[in-house]
């Protein structure tokens, strides 16, 4: 199994310990399923490559066009991912057209909104990671950063930034996060993982883990 390496979903802390909301949720899904499986933390490009080639079976992924193209969505885990553009204080994003007036940091490998992803009329720069995008925003090199709003705010908090540093985000997608498996995964594996996910949702355990990390982004 695989987990996207992205704060706060899956990351290494300052002590080298792997943690994160989706990483920990996936670990519990595996444990309750009874399957013998490992959960690897992987960067976005490698995660998709390994899932597509069958090196990994399943992951927790948002229902983006790219995911829908390659994977079977087995079960929503009951949480959503708001994605869009987070501007610095003083930059008002009233609508999509507002984006044409600003410079936006878009981390490499980020895909969350088909029109935005392919829009060549916008001024975009492509730092390697979310952390770099927030640093560019912090030091005034860009007007906004794009991506999962919870991730951007969580990282900003680590950079000692607060709500006072930002204006209201423009939300472009509200995506459901799913237990997703690449097409061709054994039926018994899919069924065990799906049943485990359903049980954890009913127990409230998935939301409990997710809330431990999402509260830092409020």
Domain CATH code at residue 121 = 3.40.190.10
Residues 213 and 192 in one domain: yes
Residues 62 and 134 in one domain: no
Domains of the chain: total: 2
Residues 94 and 162 in one domain: yes
CA proximity to 51, closest of 185, 191, 194: 185
Please tell me which residue, 183 or 23, carries the higher pLDDT value: 23
Residues 17 and 63 in one domain: yes
Residues 163 and 94 in one domain: yes
Residues 57 and 106 in one domain: no
Domain that holds residue 159: 81-173
Task: Give the tens place of pLDDT for each residue, 32-67.
Answer: 999 999 998 988 777 777 766 766 689 999 888 778
Residues 124 and 144 in one domain: yes
Continuous H helices in the chain = 21-33, 44-53, 65-70, 114-118, 130-138, 149-158, 187-203, 205-214
pLDDT of 182: 83
The structure tokens listed for 99 are: 């984006």
Cβ neighbours of residue 209 under 8 Å, at least 6 residues apart? 21, 24, 25, 28
Whether the full predicted model's pTM is greater than 0.85, yes or no, is no
Residues 71 and 92 in one domain: no
């Amino acid at each position: 199994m695989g987990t996207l390496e992205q704060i706060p979903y899956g990351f290494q802390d300052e002590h080298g310990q792997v943690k994160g909301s989706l990483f920990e949720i996936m670990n519990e899904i595996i444990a309750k399923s009874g399957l013998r499986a490992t959960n690897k933390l992987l960067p976005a490009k490698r995660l998709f490559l390994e899932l597509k080639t069958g090196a990994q079976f399943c992951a927790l992924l948002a229902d983006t066009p790219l995911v829908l193209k390659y994977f079977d969505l087995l079960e929503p885990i009951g949480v959503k991912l708001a994605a869009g553009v987070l501007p610095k204080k003083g930059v008002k994003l009233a609508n999509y057209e507002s984006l044409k007036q600003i410079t936006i940091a878009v981390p490499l490998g980020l895909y969350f909104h088909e029109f935005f992803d392919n829009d060549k009329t916008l001024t975009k720069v492509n730092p390697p990671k979310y952390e770099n995008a927030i640093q560019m925003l912090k030091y005034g090199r860009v007007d906004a950063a794009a991506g999962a709003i919870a991730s951007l705010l969580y990282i900003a908090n680590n950079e000692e930034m607060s709500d006072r540093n930002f204006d209201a985000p423009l939300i472009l997608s509200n995506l459901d996060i799913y237990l997703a498996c690449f097409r061709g995964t054994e039926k018994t594996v899919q069924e065990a993982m799906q049943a485990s996910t359903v049980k954890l949702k009913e127990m409230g355990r998935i939301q409990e883990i997710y809330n431990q990390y999402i509260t830092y982004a409020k």
